[in-house]
Amino acid sequence: MDAADYFAQLKAAMTLARERVMLIGWDFDTRVRLDPEGEPDGWPDKLGSFISTLVQRRPDLQVHVLKWDLGVLKALGRGATPLFILNWMTNKRVHLRLDSVHPAGACHHQKIAVIDDALAFCGGIDLTVGRWDTPEHRDDDLRRASPWGFAQPPWHDATAAVDGEAARSLAELARERWESATGERLPPLQERHTIWPKTLQATFHDVNVGIARTQPKRDGQPAVREIEALTLAAISRAHRFIYVESQYLASHRIAEALANRLGETSGPEVIVINPLSTEGWLEDEVMGSARARIIERLSGINGGHHFRICYPVAAGGTPIYVHAKIMIVDDQFLKIGSANMNNRSMGLDTECDLAVDPHDQTEREALRVAICSIRHRLLAEHLNVAKDEFARVELEEDSLVRAIDRLRIANGRTLVPLKPTLLNTAEEVIAAHGILDPDRPEPIVNQLAKFASASQRALRRSFRGADVKA
């Protein structure tokens, strides 16, 4: 939970690597510190220096770094980062490649790390600037400062670690990504050894792990929409509650499914944790407009008693940016990965999620307790209460929505409800037509043409309804 833990565990795992490290990501910054809180351990702490030292000390180790190609544009303003990349390029055992094999307008959004095909991480955390934070999410934390010394906001995120067959399957997926981007086929590794870091406590033991993907249709490759199918299936079978943490709430299919469940007489409660706003004005216009329409619709179903959408704030009121992608249903289903609840993540971008879903009664109760503990930890963190306190209030209220409402406070570390906002004509068109948030490959010129046409129709309708005098 949160990148302070992830970065430290990833660093510990990579020091145990013997043959291959694969890092697949949306973005990387070689200057991020992996364990600023840790004691000196004889290893450099900045990502770039750490990897350079790692291959020096492991003569048989190969490191493969695959980064979305458009992400490299940011590197032009990142000072030392290009220098480290040049240093890697001179090392024959560090292989940095930029992945440009995707439809126009799409991005590679997976965040996967694989060590010796024996341990793998998969989730929402990028090895880049602004991600590192602790569960305390202080308003001001100098350890979050960017390499330029600029303050970074509190950041909430999550990822998962797996070993065994699940790790080997993620390794296969990573090798397929590498081959697709570079044309180079990497063989699976034959040697098996234990890599699980000593300080990482496992949540589940001997469980089936599902891997769900999103891959857009491209060059004869069929579209893969496993994440969307899995998400819709989980919504359809919910009895008590659907708990979601996501950067966005913009997928029209997911919104429709949630609305249908909220409209049932004894349907489940729906709780969504989002950031207050997204990064950048354009992104906020696109995703924010879609979210506003969805909030308005879901809040109006059955008086809104079974629906809550909130954003977390730090003790001083600073909004905490939510980047985690988590879904929990009835404490019987857990999904965590890179996919947001927007159209792009369901069909256009390349995504990967992991899921745990028990299939027999013996396994079900043990997993229910473990998943419930994760959910209580998340909500206790957001509401700044003890896990046991949240569990007690939830039991007394017999409702997740009422427990959250009861534990929210007016000031300080808490969850703040997101309210529907009024949209102007352009924003209504953006929200209605999914402009710049398509769920399948489509040229940007087509999207802009649709936007222009829909805007003209909307303006004509508004003028016809107005009392216009010359």
At 288-321, the pLDDT tens digits run 788 989 999 999 999 999 999 999 999 999 999 9
Say yes or no to pLDDT of 441 above 90.
no
Question: For the chain, what is the mean pLDDT?
Answer: 87
The pLDDT assigned to 86 comes to: 54
CATH number given to 209-417? 3.30.870.10
Are 346 and 253 contacting, i.e. CB atoms less than 8 angstroms apart? yes
Q: What is the pLDDT of residues 11-23, one digit of tens each?
A: 999 999 999 999 9
For residues 72-87, give the mean pLDDT: 52
- Which regions of 86-176 does DSSP assign to beta strands (E)? 94-99, 112-115, 119-123, 155-156, 159-163
The edge-to-edge listing of strands for the beta sheet with 62-68 is 94-99, 62-68, 20-25, 112-115, 119-123, 159-163
CATH number corresponding to 3-182: 3.30.870.10
428 CB neighbour count, 10 Å cutoff: 17
Mean pLDDT of 2-9: 96
CB of 87 within 8 A of CB of 47? no
One fold for 3-182 and 209-417: yes
Q: What is the pLDDT of residue 444?
A: 53
Domains in the chain: boundaries: 3-182, 209-417
